[in-house]
Amino acid sequence: MQDVKTFRPKIVAFCCNWCSYAGADLAGTNRLNYPADVKIIRVPCSCRVNPMFILRAFQRGADGVILCGCHPGDCHYSTGNYYARRRMTLLFSMLDYLGIEKERTRVEWVSAAEGAKFAATMNEFVETVRQLGPNKRLEDLRCKK
Amino acid sequence: MQEVMLEKAKELLQSGAVDRVLGWKAGEFAYDITPCVFASAQELEAGFVYNDFCGNNLSKYLIKESRKGGKVLAFLKPCDTYSFNQLIKEHRIVRENVLVVGVPCQGMTDGETLKAKGVKGILGIKTEGEDFVINTLYGDRTMAKKDALPERCLSCKSKKHVVYDELLGQEGDKLDSGRFDLVNKLEAMDPEERFAFWRGELSRCIRCNACRNVCPACSCEKCVFDNDASGVAQKAAADSFEENMFHIIRAFHVAGRCTDCGECSRVCPQNIPLHLLNRKFIKDINTLYGDYQAGEDTVSRAPLTNFTEGDAEPSIVTKGGKKA
């Protein structure tokens, strides 16, 4: 069992191709620091993220999952993030209902110009999950090495 | 009511108005009633029943029955009509091929519920006012309905038929019977207790898929859980993650389409209160996106295929604040 000081969470960040992935890029080119624990998965739109993706990420060992997309109203496909917003609200509410820590999941809207926001969000999210410790309630023992 | 329905069915069959009748048939025991399609007056005479055990929601069977050609007569209880409407909305049932006859329902009990209350050797049941008179091997037994009904019927949302071509009996009303009370109770627990509660319930799941198969909303021809590569196709080597995932995804896939008929909980051989998961979604949808009852009409847009610019942000769940 790792203690809070040495524990390094695994974070999966689903980033939409048009805003947040570019925002992450901007954070990089601006030399902004954010933890290497964040693994970015690029998706065409935040709406592409099926509830199963989030659960699968937890199954395969993620300690926290964050979904980043364009700000509502700025979606490249006009309306994708509005649907994602409803879906994720309901999914997170259900996780909470089942007693699974709701702090492990998050949705943030990050535009392509918000490199600083991306870095700040990731720093803060990783710290939150680090305080929570390893994901125990939604883990799959068969996926543990 | 059974005689009236039988007469009606025979009359419509004879006149050629319908070719088949979808109803309920007696099973091996008095309480295991099964849905059945009758094609003739003789078959109806031999097997047709309608009593306080006829809890099965017949709407899902109409997906296939309405596509076989010919017209089918379907007896639907109030909560079945909601599912029927929802399936019409999703273009699953061919409406012209179905003649819907609404039948009244005062709450349906089932063998499991009665056995849990200590009733043994059930031979038959009838309603007398507010009581069930249950005929058993050990004599008649009278039970108040409020003690002998499953939770889904105690918190019945409506006795009103939302769609019918003909109605037998009186038109009912929508009810406000506190169907979210149990959800509220769970929400009021702290997360540790809730986790323990759901672990206790969901860990009994044997992945028999009965909840999926019976659900009128779960009618995809190809189901995500039938994929052998998904790792959830069978119980073998499953662990707690899969139980959680199966039930979250099952409930999520019907979110906004679930009419809250409670069939999932009725068929569960492990008595897991699955309808409480669906009700959580219904409650969230009602509080966040405005009251919505799936199946009430055939034109409204489902909440998950709709949005408004001012929708709540997911952070109201993940960061606390004003709880939905």
Backbone angles phi, psi at B60, to 5 degrees: -65, -30
Residue A29 belongs to a domain with what CATH number?
Answer: 3.40.50
pLDDT at A71 over 70: yes
**Interchain pair B318, A106: CB under 8 A:** yes
ipTM of the complex: 0.91
**Interchain pair B285, A59: CB under 8 A:** no
Specify if B133 maps to a domain: no
Residues B317 and B203 in one domain: yes
| Cross-strand pairs, B72 | B20, B98
- CA A91 to CA B270: how far, in whole Å? 25
Name the residue among B199, B245, B312 with its Cβ closest to that of A89.
B312
- For position B221, what pLDDT does the model report? 87
| Structure confidence by residue, pLDDT tens digits, B12-56 | 999 999 999 999 998 888 888 999 999 999 999 998 999 999 999
Range of the domain at A33: 11-133
Domains identified in chain A, total number: 1
Distance of CA B163 to the CA centre of its chain: 16
Residues B162 and B247 in one domain: no
Give the residue numbers in A contacting B (CB under 8 Å), as ranges.
51-52, 55, 58-59, 72-73, 79, 82-83, 85-103, 105-107, 137-142
Specify if A59 maps to a domain: yes
Ordered alpha helix ranges (H), chain B: 2-15, 41-47, 61-65, 78-89, 111-116, 145-148, 151-154, 181-188, 191-202, 210-214, 240-253, 263-267, 275-289, 315-318
Domain boundary among B148, B177, B206: B177
**Interchain pair B241, A140: CB under 8 A:** yes
Chain A with chain B: Cβ pairs closer than 8 A: 117
Q: What is the pTM of this model?
A: 0.91
State which residues of chain B have pLDDT below 50. 321-324
Residues B167 and B239 in one domain: no
Specify if A60 maps to a domain: yes
Range of the domain at B206: 178-324
